[in-house]
Amino acid sequence: MDKLNVISALDALAQESRLDIFRLLVEKGPDGIMMGAIGEKLGLPHATLSFHLDKLRQSGLIKSEKQGRATIYSANYDVLVGTIQYLTDNCCKESDMTCRIEIKEKACC
């Protein structure tokens, strides 16, 4: 993951509603959730939700898939893990301390 992609991901998450949306999608797992259900769970109007979903999609943090007339949104775990790895690649590099950050991939992701 390059620096510009990490900046885009962090920029997208630097807003409360988008962070809430992303956390919900991460919790739901790879099967995702329909747009309407996201709005209901988070109490966001359609236009606002659409704006935030688009920003997250543009950053690469989420994916969308059409299923008939419905759109299913899910977290893009590769981008999530790539962002975390970029931020922690050099953890404690110039210190005697052992880095305590360890990324373990879950079976579902």
pLDDT digits (tens, 9 = 90+) for 68-88: 999 999 999 999 999 998 988
Answer yes or no: pTM beyond 0.95: no
pLDDT in tens, 42-70: 999 999 999 999 999 999 999 999 999 99
Beta bridge partners of 33: 73
Place of tokens 């962090």: 10
Place of tokens 């052992």: 98
Query: Identity (one letter) of the amino acid at 102?
Result: E
Domain 3-88 architecture: Orthogonal Bundle (1.10)
Domain residue ranges in the chain: 3-88
Asked whether the CA dihedral 35, 13, 11, 14 is positive or negative, the reply is: positive
Beta bridge partners of 80: none
